[in-house]
Amino acid sequence: MRAILLRGLAIIYLIAFASLLPQVRGLIGSHGILPAHDYLQSLYSDYGRGAYTLFPTLAWFNSSDAFLTGTIWAGVLLAALLCIGILPLPSTIGLFVLYLSLDTVGQVFYSFQWDALLLEAGFAAILLAPWGWRPSYSTPVPRIALWVFRFLIFRLMFESGVVKLLSGDPSWRDLTALAYHYETQPLPTPPAWYAELLPLFFQKVSVIFLFIVELVVPVFFFVKGRLRAFAALLAIALQLLIAISGNYTFFNLLTILLCFSLFQARTAERTPVIVSVVGWTLIVLGAFQLITAVGIVPNLPSPVAWLSFHAETFHVMNGYGLFAVMTTTRREIVIEGSDDGQQWKPYEFRYKPGDINRGLPWVAPYQPRLDWQMWFAALSNFQGNPWFSQLIVRLLQGEPAVTRLLGTNPFPDKPPRFIHAITYDYHFTDWSTRLRTGAIWTRRYNGEYFPRVSLR
């Protein structure tokens, strides 16, 4: 079990770090959309030296492009070492520190629950990592360390179900949420188009299955024997179904890995004191986080609240719950440039819907973070997404680090004089339309998202 969890986590860390390499300069580099250096200076101006603990990151020492890229490469190296079993304890500690550093300066581009989940699982993995240069991964694991993982997967699954009910969203309560989900999710996969065509009865049964797996099945994570193993298999099956229909980066892989902690494992008779103390602290904090999330206890005692705040600051403890409110329509932002203000050319993104004839992509476990953030931006206006204005400025400047994040740049020789953004309502085509035209989407003009602007 130790080998599965540590090597599995090493692979996911490797995926997470490697996927940042082609994106980091365009997102948070010195000429990126939200430069890390500017962000840290702003934090220091607001919080003074308190910013060092409120926003933990190695980038306080250096936030240059070279340092950010070097941080990623260091993460890749440590993930490889952990996978082959070299210096596992320093490697797990280093991976946690490096990924936390990037997460902190990543701002909106790193605000995803799977980033927090990877950090929480990564910290828990420190309790599993054995001492030594190249120790055996086949030795029994500390019992408390295993239960930290088990309680984490319980909280993840159970909270994901609870938030759907507590949100008051009628589509979850009348079981119609999945009738919208496949079409409106951030990055649908090719099977999502077919899943959208399934009858409403099947969609409602699927929601019932989802609630059973998220709310009932996790209770059996705490029993022994085959029943717990069967509960783990049901949780894994749900994650596979989600992965088939949507591109959710490394989230499904990480959740499945956590489920493996539920299977039978040899545990050590004796556990180092520090592992016991840290393990029990994580479980107690997780319990408090859970009861506050479900509304049982609205306010924590002051000492616990203080400890929980700092645990959340370092992402050692997090709250979870995706799609608490189901989006029932799909609005897509299309950015266009023009040299004369009359003829407009669209900037196409690599993966998010744009051209209605372009096929749906398989992109997970890679995460195109700008494409994902564009989905969130479309849920509101540009005033609620300050980073979007910065994206427009970089495109008007023709900044290569940013244009490389896109699929096509219609102005490769020089940037356009004007840029604006408009929105369309997107829907999947039906069988007859797709057979006739090959189009995946239909779209209807919705209105202006960002007014026409120019740097000149």
pLDDT tens digit sequence for 203-258: 999 999 999 999 999 999 999 889 999 999 999 999 999 999 999 999 999 999 99
Question: Does the pLDDT of residue 296 top 80, yes or no?
Answer: no
Contact assessment for residue 75 and residue 122, using Cβ atoms and an 8 Å cutoff:
no
Q: What is the pLDDT of residue 363?
A: 96
Q: What is the pLDDT of residue 40?
A: 97
Tens of pLDDT along 267-295? 766 778 998 899 999 999 999 888 888 77
Considering the domain architecture, whether residues 145 and 265 belong to the same structural domain is answered as yes
CA distance 193 to 429: 8
Question: Does the pLDDT of residue 298 top 80, yes or no?
Answer: no
Considering the domain architecture, whether residues 144 and 132 belong to the same structural domain is answered as no
Question: Does the pLDDT of residue 451 top 80, yes or no?
Answer: yes
Considering the domain architecture, whether residues 371 and 303 belong to the same structural domain is answered as no
DSSP readout, 269-326?
Answer: SS--HHHHHHHHHHHHHHHHHHHHHTTS-SS--HHHHHHHHHHHHTTSS----TTSS-
Cβ-in-10-Å burial (0-12, 13-18, 19+) of 260 comes to: middle
Considering the domain architecture, whether residues 33 and 152 belong to the same structural domain is answered as no
Q: What is the pLDDT of residue 158?
A: 95
The two three-digit tokens of residue 366, written as one number: 């890679």
Lowest mean pLDDT among 17-21, 88-92, 264-268, 296-300: 296-300
Q: β-pairing, 406-408 with 348-349?
A: antiparallel
Considering the domain architecture, whether residues 315 and 373 belong to the same structural domain is answered as no
Tens of pLDDT along 333-371? 999 999 998 999 999 999 999 999 999 999 999 999 999
Considering the domain architecture, whether residues 105 and 204 belong to the same structural domain is answered as no
Mean pLDDT, rounded, for 436-452: 94
Considering the domain architecture, whether residues 168 and 132 belong to the same structural domain is answered as no
Considering the domain architecture, whether residues 110 and 251 belong to the same structural domain is answered as no
pTM of the model: 0.93
Q: What's the total number of domains in the chain? A: 3
Question: Does the pLDDT of residue 326 top 90, yes or no?
Answer: yes
Last residue of a domain, one of 79, 103, 136: 136
**H or E element, residue 345:** strand 345-346
323 versus 375: the higher-pLDDT residue is 375
Contact assessment for residue 171 and residue 326, using Cβ atoms and an 8 Å cutoff:
yes
Last residue of a domain, one of 292, 324, 356: 324
Considering the domain architecture, whether residues 71 and 49 belong to the same structural domain is answered as yes
Q: What is the pLDDT of residue 366?
A: 95
Give the residue numbers spanning the domain of 257: 140-324
Q: What is the pLDDT of residue 225?
A: 85
Neighbours of 426 (CB within 10 A): 21
Share the mean pLDDT of the chain.
93
Work out the angle between the directed axes of helices 251-259 and 226-245 (0-180°, nearest 10). Answer: 170
Above pLDDT 90, what percent of the chain?
Answer: 84
Question: Does the pLDDT of residue 201 top 80, yes or no?
Answer: yes
Tens of pLDDT along 143-187? 899 999 999 999 999 999 999 999 889 999 999 999 999 999 999
Considering the domain architecture, whether residues 248 and 118 belong to the same structural domain is answered as no
Tens of pLDDT along 119-151? 999 999 999 999 889 998 888 888 899 999 999
CA distance 320 to 7: 24
Q: What is the pLDDT of residue 269?
A: 64
Cβ-in-10-Å burial (0-12, 13-18, 19+) of 109 comes to: buried
Considering the domain architecture, whether residues 320 and 346 belong to the same structural domain is answered as no
Last residue of a domain, one of 309, 324, 339: 324
Backbone angles phi and psi of 248, in degrees to 5: -110, 45
CA distance 257 to 232: 10
Tell me the pLDDT band of 394, cut-offs 50, 70 and 90.
very high
Considering the domain architecture, whether residues 177 and 287 belong to the same structural domain is answered as yes
